[in-house]
Amino acid sequence: MAEHQLGPRDEGIKGVLPERGPSSSQVLAVVTLLRLGGFFLLLASLTLIATLIGLSVSSPVFVICSPVLLPAVLVIVFAVLGFIASGAFGVTALSSMSWMVNYLHRLRFPEQMEHVKRRAQEMARQMGQRARETEQHVQSKDLKPDRTEPSGHTEKG
């Protein structure tokens, strides 16, 4: 028989597989998870069976009492929906009124806002002018030489 030679395809698969087996901690984790998964699957199936048995036992009671139960369930559902809807409408109304008050306030008092803007611009212009005057005053003092009088006092021009 001819021996099988490893081609590039076989080497790629060999590179993907681990060279040694899983560690003991990995095996222990898999066994533990399988046991837990099986236990939870058993609990789920028992719950499903109990639910089906309970539904089959209580169905005749629901059919007999349906003239009373159905209206009661509908009243409860509509009451809950009514509370939710009234809350949503209340929040919507409050936010709408808040937006309207802000909008009307901006429409009603634009001249006050313009006055405040003009006043702030005027104040900024005055402060800029004062800063320029102070800068010119300081520069003019630095350029003039000090004269010393015979009395020993210095006099700045």
What are the φ/ψ torsions at residue 144 (nearest 5 degrees)?
-80, 135
pLDDT tens-digit readout, 83-127: 999 999 988 998 888 888 887 777 777 777 777 788 888 988 998
pLDDT tens-digit readout, 39-72: 999 999 999 999 999 889 988 887 888 888 888 8
What number of helices (H) and strands (E) belong to the chain?
3, 2
Alpha-helical runs (H) found in 3-150: 8-16, 24-108, 110-143
Give the model's pLDDT for residue 58: 86
The arithmetic mean of pLDDT across residues 70-83, rounded, is: 90
Per the listing, tokens 């169905």 go with 59
Q: CA-CA distance, 145 to 141, in Å (whole number)?
A: 8
What are the φ/ψ torsions at residue 134 (nearest 5 degrees)?
-65, -40
Give the model's pLDDT for residue 84: 93
- Give pTM, 2 decimals: 0.34
